[in-house]
Amino acid sequence: MTEFNASKRMYSRARCSVPAGVSTNTRARQPHPLYFEQASGAWAIDLDGNRHLDIIMGNGAILLGHSCAEVTDAVQRQLSLGLTCGLESAQMCDAAEGLLRAAQWPDLVRFTNTGTEAVQHALHIARHATGRTRIAKVEGSYHGWSDEVFVSVWIDPARSGTPANIVPQPQFAGQRLDLVSETIVLPFNNLELTAATLDRHGDQIAAVLLEPTLIDVGYIPASRAYLEHLREITGKHGIVLIYDELLTGLNTSVGGIGRETGIAPDLALFGKALANGFPLAAVAGREELMRLTEPGCGPAFVGTFNGHAISIAAAAATLPILASGLVQREMNKRGRRLRTSFESEARRLGVKAKLVTGGSHFHWYFCDNEIVDFRSAVNTDAAAYARFTGTLSASGVLTLPNPLSHHAISLAHDEQVLSEMENAFSDALKAVAKAA
């Protein structure tokens, strides 16, 4: 049996100074979190020296694998120069030009640190440009933890009204309920009801904030028809359309859904894989909107750590690797392989389950209905998911406990690692079948 004594001791120490002993609640575990000291490729090593197969990969941020040589070398070179924050890095243009070339449709880009910050900047731009205050978002989409967007994400649909009239719900205690109630919540992938809602409130809405793929409730892509219709109706009402592609924009395709489909938004948010795990996010978009963030023109765009030289160096090294699309195509290929083997084994065992994939992202649903939005995703069998991921964890595979979350592989998950994953998935499915 695997020992985690060092992690147990660290938890006893950490919880005396850090609530729950972790820096983010998503890393909390029972009976205690694991603490790590090293990672390389597809693997992470905990304080007890146990080697874990990582299929969380920084929520898809570490697309090239842990300790990618090109990125590590670039960061070490930058560290040797001593420049960190508070001054503009000479490599900023390399990263900016690389991102704009990848995405193709935007004119300008600015860098910040986190996705939550990027969302707030985009909303400030939209409000200033339109003179309106309200925003609309999709049920089940996660855009960070600020009051007005941490709304109707992982909630009970029974408390949330009908898809035609979704009642906005705060996610956690401490949110300003007046801001929550001002947020308009849209039904994902439902053209008719989304259009009706936007027509009803269009003259009040500054921005529609959209994840083109719902990624924090598994993996649920928008239909092309939904994107086209949303682009048309936001244009009709003068609403700023914002794509939140922080997790998917460089992961599922080279420049995100705006480039892939030709259905470009007004603003888009990129992050995660942008710097292969180093903290960096970006707001990109049309020039007339982005110029509003210049001094004296409108919303502030400030932050001591914006354009941090270390993260910029990581991005400048990462973007050329991603630019050709070879990484994304390889990730899609590996995802299809995992899906085929998983679903074949599930059918053989009589387990109602499916694996959805896109780029390096993937997730399991334990149900047999079609997954098209949040309300269809909540039908997943939480007990089956818990048994499946519990079996994986016991075999040394790092997973997330929330049945509506998502997982990811990387370029470092090679043929041997994929075979190990397939075997682990098979054993975990057998555990689910045995419990049924």
Helix (H, G, I), strand (E, B) or coil at 162: strand
Q: Which of 25, 26, 31 is nearest to 12 (CA)?
A: 31
**Structural domains of the chain sorted by starting position, each given as residue range(s) with its CATH number in brackets:** 35-67+325-435 (3.90.1150.10), 69-322 (3.40.640.10)
In percent, the amount of the chain with pLDDT more than 70 equals: 100
Q: In what order do the strands lie in the sheet with 43-46?
A: 36-40, 43-46, 51-54, 397-398
Question: What is the maximum span of the chain, computed from C-alpha positions, in angstroms?
Answer: 65
- pLDDT (0 to 100) of residue 3: 85
Give the pLDDT of residue 358.
95
pLDDT value at 436 more than 90: no
Average pLDDT over residues 364-373: 96
* Angle formed by the axes of helices 382-394 and 415-435, nearest 10°: 130
Do residues 381 and 366 make contact, with C-beta atoms less than 8 angstroms apart?
Answer: yes
Three-state DSSP class for residue 222: coil
Find all residues with CB under 8 Å of 288, minimum gap 6, and list them. none
325 and 256 in contact (C-beta within 8 Å)?
A: no
Residue 37 clears pLDDT 80, i.e. is over it: yes
What is the rounded average pLDDT of the residues 86-93? 94
Where does the pLDDT of residue 253 fall: very low under 50, low under 70, confident under 90, or very high at 90 and above?
Answer: confident
Give yes or no for residue 145 having a pLDDT over 80: yes
Residue 163 pLDDT class (50, 70, 90 cuts) = very high
How many Cα atoms occupy the beta-carbon half-sphere of 316 within 13 Å? 20
198 contact partners, CB below 8 Å, separation of at least 6:
136, 186, 205, 208, 233, 234, 237, 239
Whether 340 has a pLDDT exceeding 90, the answer reads: yes
Describe the crossing of helices 309-322 and 92-103 by its angle, rounded to 10 degrees: 40
Averaged confidence pLDDT in the chain: 96
C-alpha torsion 373→375→377→379, nearest 10: -150
Look at residues 26, 3, 8 and name the one whose alpha carbon lies nearest to residue 407: 26
Whether the per-residue pLDDT at 255 is higher than 90: the answer is: no
Question: For residue 1, is pLDDT > 80?
Answer: no
Q: What confidence score (pLDDT) does residue 247 get?
A: 94
Specify the range with the lowest mean pLDDT, choosing from 24-28, 47-51, 322-326, 377-381.
24-28
Chain segment 263-297, per-residue pLDDT in tens? 999 999 999 999 999 999 999 999 999 999 999 99
Query: At which residue do the structure tokens 């083997």 appear?
Result: 341
DSSP state for residue 34 in the 8-state scheme: -
> Could you tell me the pLDDT band of residue 344, with boundaries at 50, 70 and 90?
very high
pLDDT in tens, 197-216: 999 999 999 999 999 999 99
Q: What integer is the mean pLDDT of 129-134?
A: 98
What average pLDDT does this structure show over 297-311? 96
* pLDDT over threshold 70, residue 153: yes
Number of residues in the chain: 436
pTM: 0.96
